[in-house]
């Protein structure tokens, strides 16, 4: 999924303000209201905004964008983040990997490693990692969600809690600008919390679209993680939280071009 520069800026404005009118956007971008309406309709169709009378607001805080849409959304950025995360994982390490399309890209980026031991509640991640016969892949038990092949529930939490691993690699649906990590499914969040508790180092992989995105279930705070991997410098509002939590921020720009 590719957005025009104007569409990207529209999404950023809505996330900052909560709601913007078509008249405001037309004046701001010096475009006709008809052009702005087409942009809004396109962004709503992609699940990035919600259409209201006279303008657009944030999408639902209780329902995530469809899995198929998330698979292609910001794919280039996710792959750049995935390569960066993989470069910080040594051979013969133990990992947790949770649910999400970004963690699936990380799984693909890890295939050139050797001797990894991975515990996951994501059947898509497990299927990708099985291509490397030097890996040992351990899948948590529990309830499998049809829409994204994620394993959730009390059994998955109990299983994760039996391990203590080198790295916990997690994705997230939204990051509030006060540093709160947010997601849509409390069962998914509880598994991620178990990963945080049982990892020596926690890596959060999140592209720029996750900052300021709304969701209703609190996972924790960004200060609870050790390293944030993202594709752009985080918004200024969240920088004091990252500094106070001594969170290292890594972007592809620091390590060279994404492609």
Is the residue at 80 inside a domain? yes
Is the residue at 62 inside a domain? no
What backbone phi and psi angles, to 5 degrees, belong to 101?
Answer: -75, -30
Of 34, 57, 80, which marks where a domain is finished? 57
Alpha helices in 178-231 (DSSP H): 186-197
What is the residue-level pLDDT of the chain in tens, covering all 259 positions?
Answer: 578 889 989 988 887 777 889 999 999 999 999 999 999 998 888 778 888 778 888 776 555 556 566 556 678 899 999 999 999 999 999 999 998 899 999 999 999 999 999 999 999 999 999 999 999 999 998 888 887 888 888 999 999 999 999 999 999 988 998 999 999 888 889 999 999 999 999 999 999 888 888 788 999 999 999 999 999 999 889 999 999 999 999 999 765 444 4
Is the residue at 63 inside a domain? no
| Rounded-to-integer distance, Cα 212 and Cα 238, Å | 10
Identify the domain containing residue 38 by its residue range: 5-57
* Tally of structural domains, the chain: 2
Cβ burial, residue 114 (10 Å; 0-12/13-18/19+): exposed
Alpha helices in 88-150 (DSSP H): 101-109, 123-129
CA gyration radius, the chain: 19
In a shared domain, residues 86 and 206: yes
CATH of residue 227: 3.40.50.1360
Name the residue among 21, 7, 31, 28 with its Cα closest to residue 57: 21
State both tokens at 188.
């998914």
């Amino acid at each position: 999924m590719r957005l025009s520069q104007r569409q990207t800026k529209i999404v950023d404005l809505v996330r900052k303000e909560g709601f913007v009118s078509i008249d405001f956007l037309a004046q701001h971008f010096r475009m006709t209201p008809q052009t702005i309406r087409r942009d809004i309709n396109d962004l709503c169709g992609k699940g990035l905004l919600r259409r209201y009378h006279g303008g657009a607001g944030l999408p639902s805080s209780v329902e995530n964008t469809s899995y198929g849409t998330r698979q292609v959304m910001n794919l280039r950025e996710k792959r750049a983040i995935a390569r960066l995360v993989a470069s910080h994982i040594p051979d013969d390490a133990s990992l947790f990997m949770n649910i999400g399309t970004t963690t699936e890209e990380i799984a693909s980026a890890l295939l050139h490693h050797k001797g990894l031991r991975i515990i996951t509640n994501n059947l898509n991640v497990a299927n990708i990692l099985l291509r490397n016969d030097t890996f040992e892949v351990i899948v948590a038990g529990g309830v499998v969600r049809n829409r994204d092949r994620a394993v959730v529930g009390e059994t998955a939490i109990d299983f994760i809690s039996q391990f203590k691993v080198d790295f916990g690699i997690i994705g997230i649906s939204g990051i509030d600008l006060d540093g709160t990590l947010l997601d849509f499914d409390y069962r998914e969040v509880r598994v991620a919390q178990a990963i945080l508790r049982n990892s020596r180092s926690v890596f959060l992989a999140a592209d720029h679209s996750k900052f300021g995105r709304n969701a209703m279930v609190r996972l924790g705070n960004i200060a609870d993680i050790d390293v944030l991997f993202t594709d752009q410098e985080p918004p200024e509002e969240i920088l004091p939280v990252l500094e106070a939590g001594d969170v290292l921020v890594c972007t592809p720009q620091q390590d060279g071009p994404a492609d």
